[in-house]
Amino acid sequence: MTERRTPTSAAARHGTLWDRAVLALDANWTGTSTVPSRTLYPHQWSWDSAFIAIGLRHVSPVRAQVELETLIAAQWGDGRIPHIVFNPDVPLDAYFPSPDFWRSSGAGRAAGAPRTVQTSGIVQPPVHALAAWLVHRADPALSRSRGFLTRVYPGLAAWHRYLLHRRDLGGGGLASVVHPWEQGMDNSPCWDAPLSRVTPAPARTFRRADLEHGAADDRPTDLDYGRYVRLAMDYRDGEYADGQGQFAVEDPSFNALLAASEHALARIACELGAAGTARHARAERLTAALVDRLWDPAAGMFFGRDLHGGRLVEEYTVSGLIPLILPALPRDVVAALVRTACGPHFGVGDQVRLAPSYDLLGAAFDAHRYWRGPAWFNTNWLLERGLRLHGEHARAALLRAALLDTAGTSDFAEYVDPYTGAGCGARGFGWTAALTLDLLGERTSG
């Protein structure tokens, strides 16, 4: 696939950074999808591919389309898009949990797991319809000639049906995650309380491949990892049926991304000649449910709801800021969220270079440990988008500049110290490079 876009005028002024980002994505390209990292993450990840497609649209719209088409081709019959699509050419011991742990084609048979490709059985945040719409808008003529939206729309609609119906475990109109890995912010302190009731799998029953590529002090503890493994084993052994596990949380960012993608799916429907009114209305109902069930006005923050305990998990994490991406968020909620983002808990625009993943004042804050303090490029990209959406252009511009500077100086790190910008985890990371391209590229109407 040789089609390649030249940089826009804005990108040309940062030519070296643009070229480096393109090279990082090229190095991670497999021919049909992009791995997040050749070392630590050698397969296709669901929300990574969505963010990667958003960046690739500026360089190769065809490759961006193929990225999403490859992912959706591994969709299960019940509508779920799995969080990992495994490359059969990668050795089993390169990543854990590996395909032989998930046993998707067997344990997932009742849920319609594909027979010809091995996947995980859990999901990740639903960024995909938003990504598909942005990819289409990058080159509508090419998209129409390839029938891109016609191909992906049925799968995206089934994906949203799955989340809106089978995952509404609390009955309040929001989707629930049944494993911390599903929300994407795997090791966040907001999971500590819901995970505390889970008996961990014994350490001798699994091998942590992640510790071969990252410092133990930066990664989840063995205790937490044992709980992750136990939840995944129980879900697998229950044939991936929803609503039976020990863990179920309504998360703010997961549902905000679902609502944003529902708006995008409405635009896709209109492009294909159908009415999008019902989908826009559904997105606004999701927004209202998010405020009703997860907003704490006294804290000025969205918190996750632990469905087993029935209470909000009152931890300040970046997940609670992501609803800023929603256009129908009430004005008073927007104003309070901006105050929280720029206040002492997150320090955006003042104390830190990028928004941390967790409360700067929190007892569990660690500037380097996975999702317990470091800053991530995808969450900051979403915050920048939300700030612009709600007219906070000066703050958005400062965050955009910090993102670009940190991407370059960290060699497109997986995540960074929020204070210093020092890189942690993998380098040449897929979504960091891709979202750098998006910030550099000429903005396409969304």
The one-character DSSP state at 370 is T
CB atoms within 10 A of CB 307: 20
What residues does 179 pair with on adjacent strands?
Answer: none
Q: Which residues are catalytic?
A: 186, 414
DSSP 8-state assignment for residue 7? P
Give the burial class of 14: count Cβ atoms within 10 A of its Cβ; 0-12 exposed, 13-18 middle, 19 or more buried. middle
Nearest to 384 by CA among 357, 422, 355: 355
CA angle, 61 then 426 then 12, to 5°: 40
The reply to whether omega before 97 is within 30° of 0 (cis) is: yes
> CA 293 → CA 3, 174, 302, 328, 382, distances in Å?
46, 9, 9, 16, 22
**Residues 352, 357, 363, 367, CA torsion sign:** negative
- Encode burial over 366-392: b for 16+ CB neighbours within 10 A, e otherwise: bbbbbbbbbbbbbbbbbbbbbbbbbeb
Residue 66 buriedness (CB in 10 A; 0-12 / 13-18 / 19+):
buried
d(CA 249, CA 175): 9
Phi, psi of 364 (to 5 degrees): -90, 5
- Interacting residues of 372 by C-beta distance below 8 A, sequence separation 6+: 187, 188, 189, 357, 358, 364, 365, 366
Sign of the CA dihedral running 347, 127, 124, 269: positive
Residues 6+ apart with CB under 8 A from 208: 96, 219, 222, 225
